Amino acid sequence: MLRRLTAAAAVTALVPLTAVALPGGADARAPHHDRYHASIAITAHGIPHITADDFGSLGFGSGYAATEDAVCTLADTLITARGERSRWFGPDKRYNDQVTLDASNLQVDAFVADLHQRHVVEKLLKDPLRGPGGQARAMVRGYVAGANEWLRTNEVTDPACAGAPYLKPDVTTLDLWYGVYLANLLASAGVFVKEIVDAAPPSADDPGLPELPVKASQVDREALLKALGRDPESPFGSNATAVGGAASTTGKGMLLGNPHFPWRGRYHFTQQHLTIPGKYDVAGASLIGSPVVNIGWNKDVAWSHTVSTAYRFTPYEYRTPGPGTTYLTDAGPQELVHDTVKVRLPHGKTATEDLYRTPEGYVVDSPATLMPWGPASVWAIRDANGEQLRTIDTFLDMGKATDVRDLLRRQDAGAGMPWVNTTAADRHGDVLYADHSVVPNVPDDLVQQCLTPTGIVLQQVAGLPGLDGTFADSTCAWRTDEDAERPGIFGPANLPMEIRRDWVMNANDSYWLPNPEQPLEGYAGIIGCERCVRTMRTRMVSHYVIDRLAAGHQESPRSLRGHEHENRVMAAEVMRAGGALDQVCQATGETEACQVLHDWDGHSNTDSVGTHIFEEFISRLPTPTLGAVDPVWLTQFDPGDPLNTPRDLNVANPQVVQAMSDAIASLRDRGIPFDATWGSLQVAGDRGAPPIPLGGGTGDAAGNANALAARWVRDNRDHYRPITYGSSHIQAISFLPGGRVDARTILTYGQSENPRSPYSADQTRMFSKKKWVRFAWTDAQIAHDLVRRFTISG
């Protein structure tokens, strides 16, 4: 049964919400006899506070409010989850989820059509171990009813989809569940959609790529990581810092969380506050299509998430007797499962695609990840997140937690945290870091026993073990821990966590160093590396707390949230030591730019002058090859001093000097003044946004905790750096005496994606000015900030 589920588990990365009808199946439609009632209070900045008597009605209010704020993205994501992008947008147009998936609509649809044809989600819905519980199902049914109610009773005014024929009040619960399932696969099979759909067996005329011997030293590491959805130049990440009672002025816990996510599309947030009086009360942010709060707080606990380094899948390499669809196992030769699917096109036409599977999962033809389908072997991937539909349960139950230990217990019981770490603080002054996400149970001894020659290279270069498919059903099968909630994944005892009274953090490096006083070691390599170099962003996030404590000051609610907008640039601080950065610039023979760089305040504030020179320089620095000395630094990384090394800029390296020379020349050639303020160059770039000046900058390489990036830019392209990615739902939560909660938030791109809404760019302007929203948490605060209140039924 587990094998069948694994094969039935594929993936693509997205999540869901609004449009046509699907074939029935379990939980397909909200029953007509269900009646929902919710009260929605809209406070300043368009934030909905939803109150109901049960979880179904709570989901009803959530779905209604989310559709109001993001109807076009909900519709787009639902169409994706139904496998109908080609029908509505054309088969050759591309779908880019702004994170890991970039494929044609036809490729996406074929992948999703195969999931539907095999009833993958329907089977999970019927599975008592891997499927959702009653409260999660009620939330989803209500959410769907709320989305339909909004579509029935409101006119779509967002120009992105107004008048679109697919906007119909016929959303089904199955639509939403497929969307949730696809989002779970963001970091696994969703990365390989093109490679899954385009995979075809070698033939005599087209034998495929030959399997040449590959050495780790011959592999372009950055290109490999990019193909695995881990592009070093476009990281998907976040920061989170939790300060405990031993390091806070309140003696209680505080949290600063800042997920770095896309500013448009399926993976952007809306905020909401969900209340069942006397039973459930949680607020924060939810990704599009999520009826529950993903990042947030209640009266006792606050939490945030950062993308984890753990892999969610393992590739299996199967030997083949020659070109074709036969592969070899220890049980004898086997034939690949061959699925043919039809995809709906415009004007009633259809297209046909072929996909192949083993019992472990989809076959891929992926030369870029060293996994081609050639004459001697074929690769398939097994996906741990493809075997569960417990994510809604996990987030829903976390909202009931009473302290950080209870939060982690509830997360472990759900066993559906798909691809993120958790950092949390509680009223009692404890703080938590944990990577208790869904990870394949492949401990290091199994890996060493089962690696193929190419699998060894994958592990050496990217940390991904390529296992021998010959024994995928026996000695190389995923194991099961006694404390795991289901087969094939690590249980809590084999996953890293740390609870402290001072502070913990994560900024997307591995679990190894949530606090330098207590490194976490001895865990499986598939989860992440140990005693390995930290990014400049990790060093900056850590040093904000370290430096304040070293100066003899505890963190206060004001100081902790203030770190968000300090906009220090860690790489610049390190490189300026001993005047090294000035020396490098002077070696170029430039004078005007070097004077600006010398006078620069070392920050990425909107009024900083010189930030762009450093940004251009840092982007051109040479990167070390695998296992080689880093040419940028004289003092290399030392695991005994991980937050202060590497350091000492190598001023004598001509590559470093050339990087500075090229940076200055590039700015001059583009007509960008050396003395321009950063805010005149870096502006908002989300859909319909005016060019609002923004502070912050490049994260990992430059060391901005307030990480921002310009990716797939469409708006304000006449500016140097229009921001479409980075700091998103930022929350600074402090627990105070007397049961009080100080909740400050900012949703950097605004609550509404409709550029015609007053809530589209209001928070962006606040973010530009380093201001915070005082999130209305209590009834009195909601009444004070109330814009309108209404009730809905359906």
Catalytic residues: 238
**CA proximity to 122, closest of 381, 485, 389, 358:** 389
**Neighbour-count burial of 274, counting CB atoms closer than 10 A to its CB (0-12 exposed, 13-18 middle, 19+ buried):** buried
Q: How far apart are CA 384 and CA 416, in angstroms?
A: 10
Under 8 Å between Cβ of 137 and 51? no
Chain center to CA of 132: 22
Considering only CA atoms, which of 149, 187, 181 is closest in space to residue 59?
Answer: 149
HSE-CB at 756 with a 13 A cutoff on CA atoms is 8
Q: Is the dihedral of CA 197, 199, 200, 205 positive or negative?
A: positive
What is the rounded distance in angstroms from the CA atom of residue 725 to the CA atom of residue 236? 9
Alpha carbons within 13 A on the beta-carbon side of 757: 24
Q: What are phi and psi of 542, to 5 degrees?
A: -65, -45
What gap in Å lies between CA 108 and CA 225, rounded to an integer? 22
For the chain, give the longest Cα–Cα distance: 78
Strands 269-276 and 47-51, by their bridges, are parallel
Q: Which two tokens stand for residue 717?
A: 């392209």
Question: CA 602, 605, 606: angle at the middle one, nearest 5?
Answer: 135
The three-state secondary structure class of 648 is: strand
Angle, helices 134-153 vs 55-82, to 10°: value is 70
Give the C-alpha separation, 25 to 23, whole Å. 6
* DSSP SS3 for 116: helix
Q: Taking the C-alpha atoms of 505, 509, 513 and 514 in order, what is their torsion angle to the nearest 10 degrees?
A: 20
What Å distances lie between residue 293 and 49, 462, 495, 507, 735, CA to CA?
12, 33, 24, 21, 19
Of the candidates 766, 706, 732, which has an alpha carbon nearest to the alpha carbon of residue 568? 706
Question: Any idea what DSSP says for residue 542?
Answer: H
- How far apart, in whole angstroms, are the C-alpha atoms of residue 281 and residue 283? 7
Cβ within 8 Å of residue 85, ≥6 positions away: 79, 93, 95, 105, 108, 109
Question: Residue 780 burial (CB < 10 Å; 0-12/13-18/19+)?
Answer: exposed
Residue 449 phi, psi dihedral angles, 5° rounding: -75, -30
Given its phi and psi angles, is residue 579 left (phi above 0), alpha (psi -120 to 50 degrees) or beta? left
SS3 content of the chain, % helix, strand, coil (to 5): 35, 25, 45
Q: Is the peptide bond before 654 cis (omega within 30 degrees of 0)?
A: no
Per DSSP, the three-state class of 143 is: helix
Task: Give the separation between CA 74 and CA 68, rounded to whole angstroms.
Answer: 10
